[in-house]
């Protein structure tokens, strides 16, 4: 392999000749050979958006020459278009400030801008002008998190639509309700599924509302929040540029000391991500309970048969999409612990757990987005009602006796239910044998569909 010699404040170092990164990236590569987890593309893209916006702001403030600013912006656009991916090589497990990744981006953009200009562009003096890793990296975290949450909301809405359509289709299919895994009063399958759709609707609303907090960014705080080396109005100009380019309302943090040292917004938003994961887990569990069987379970719905389920039991098919959802939910719960712990760390003016925080945050969003789309396409869209089984279970439920309570009272209704259960009678047989109610009155009040839609 051919090398070139790069220099930084610590001296000279060999860098592969075909790479656009420089000395500080190379030092990080050599010093942090830890794991296989690389800094997420979303963070790199957010950093490039910031560098592009910063170059425009510095140009307006007369701090960069027009050619240099435009070259930096073009280099950033090329990265955003998917070029030079192999030059962003650093591990998540690096400095807790993300400085090395910030410099990785600075060096690649400086190198490419220099190629475009046919001259020297400096990673610190030009690309990083008016900035510090300490305000750039947390700002990039907010932008990357907002973009990931926005995509997650879109996928959530797709599954919500699927479930809402199923709810409408099955609105008159009566089934027995269940509480505590015990029989309860009737409900329709459509009503139950409307609850699932409502959960996802609320999750999407919470994600939308929470993610607005990410619009406040730390840029302009520089090293410790005081804004040293950042000119007046730099933060406002950068935020104006970012608002235009990324499609979100970006503004300078009202307290930059808070913005550098605290990651509370990310903890808060990930809480909404976790809420979605838990609702998905609940939905997946309901689906696999109701689809259990096919002969010895509840068997009230059918789900698509996508692949063989056993290497030893012929013909077995399992609710694998539900299992994938549940595993992702477990991962998101673990990520939430990491996000929360990381946010509480660091000392004085800076959080120094930022790479692991944003890595886990983005992983939660990406896993949930993927599993939602998979569950929607490979399971939810194919859910069908097993009408005979629904009717059979609903008609056998002793808790249908609840409809008689206003007529004969709680105690007598309870006696009927207990008698039916103890003697193996139908509810009607037990009710008539008790003498508490006539057949005409029984038939009038035990109307299962009517019980689902009381007036």
Enzyme catalytic residues = 180, 310
H runs (alpha helix) in 213-353 = 234-246, 256-261, 264-290, 320-343
- Nearest to residue 17, comparing CAs of 3, 1, 31, 28? 3
**353 to each of 26, 30, 140, how far by Cα in Å?**
21, 20, 14
- Nearest to residue 181, comparing CAs of 386, 399, 427, 418? 399
Measured in degrees and rounded to the nearest 5, phi and psi for residue 230 equal -110, 120
How many degrees, rounded to 5, is the angle at CA 91 between CA 327 and CA 94? Answer: 110
What b/e string do you get for 403-438 counting C-beta neighbours within 10 Å, with b at 16 or more?
bbeeebeeebbebbbebbeeeebebbebbbeeebbe
Cis amide prior to 365 (ω within 30 degrees): no
- Nearest to residue 176, comparing CAs of 167, 184, 164, 168? 184
Strands (E), 79-181: 174-179
Q: How far apart, in whole angstroms, are the C-alpha atoms of residue 289 and residue 272?
A: 26
Measured in degrees and rounded to the nearest 5, phi and psi for residue 178 equal -140, 130
- Quick check: 199 and 279 in contact, CB under 8 A? yes
Q: How far apart, in whole angstroms, are the C-alpha atoms of residue 98 and residue 7?
A: 21
**284 to each of 242, 277, 279, 400, how far by Cα in Å?**
39, 10, 9, 27
Give, as one character, the DSSP assignment of residue 100: H
Q: How far apart, in whole angstroms, are the C-alpha atoms of residue 307 and residue 36?
A: 31
15 Cβ neighbours under 8 A, 6+ residues apart? 3, 4, 5, 6, 21, 22, 23, 25, 26
Q: Coil, strand, or helix at residue 184?
A: strand
């Amino acid at each position: 392999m051919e090398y070139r010699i790069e220099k930084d404040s610590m001296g000279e170092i060999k860098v592969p000749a075909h790479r656009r990164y420089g000395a500080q990236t190379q030092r990080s590569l050599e010093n942090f050979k830890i794991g296989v987890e690389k800094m997420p593309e979303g963070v790199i893209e957010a950093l490039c958006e910031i560098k592009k916006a910063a170059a425009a702001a510095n140009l307006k403030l007369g701090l960069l020459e027009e050619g240099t600013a435009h070259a930096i912006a073009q280099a950033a656009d090329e990265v955003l278009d998917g070029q030079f991916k192999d030059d962003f090589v650093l591990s998540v497990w690096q400095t807790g400030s993300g400085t090395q990744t910030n410099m990785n981006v600075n060096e690649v953009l400086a190198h490419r801008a220099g190629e475009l200009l046919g001259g020297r562009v400096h990673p610190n003096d030009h690309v990083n002008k008016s900035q510090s890793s300490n305000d750039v990296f947390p700002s990039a975290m907010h932008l990357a998190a907002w973009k990931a949450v926005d995509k997650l909301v879109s996928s959530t809405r797709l599954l919500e639509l699927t479930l809402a359509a199923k709810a409408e289709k099955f609105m008159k299919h009566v089934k027995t309700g269940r509480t505590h895994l015990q029989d309860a009063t009737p409900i329709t399958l459509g009503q139950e599924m409307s609850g699932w759709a409502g959960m996802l609707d609320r999750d999407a609303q919470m994600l939308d509302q929470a993610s607005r907090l990410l619009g406040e960014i730390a840029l302009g705080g520089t090293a410790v929040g005081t804004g040293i080396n950042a000119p007046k109005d730099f933060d406002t100009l950068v935020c104006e540029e970012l608002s235009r380019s990324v499609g979100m309302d970006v503004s300078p943090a009202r307290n930059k000391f808070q913005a550098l040292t605290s990651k509370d917004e990310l903890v808060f938003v990930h809480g909404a991500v976790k809420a979605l994961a838990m609702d998905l887990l609940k939905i997946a569990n309901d689906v696999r309970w109701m689809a259990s069987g096919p002969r010895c379970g509840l068997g009230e719905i059918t789900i698509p048969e996508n692949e063989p389920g056993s290497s030893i039991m012929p013909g077995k098919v399992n609710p694998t999409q539900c299992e994938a959802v549940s595993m992702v939910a477990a991962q998101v719960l673990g990520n939430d612990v990491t996000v929360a712990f990381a946010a509480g760390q660091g000392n004085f003016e800076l959080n120094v757990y930022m790479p692991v925080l944003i890595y886990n945050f983005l992983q939660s969003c990406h896993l949930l987005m993927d599993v939602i789309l998979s569950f929607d396409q490979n399971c939810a869209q194919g859910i069908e009602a097993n009408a005979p089984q629904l009717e059979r279970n609903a008609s056998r439920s002793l808790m249908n006796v609840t409809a008689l309570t206003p007529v004969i009272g709680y105690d007598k209704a309870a006696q009927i239910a207990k008698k039916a259960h103890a003697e193996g009678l139908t509810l009607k047989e037990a009710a008539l044998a008790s003498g508490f109610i006539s057949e005409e009155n029984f038939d009038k009040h035990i109307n299962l569909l009517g019980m689902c839609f009381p007036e």
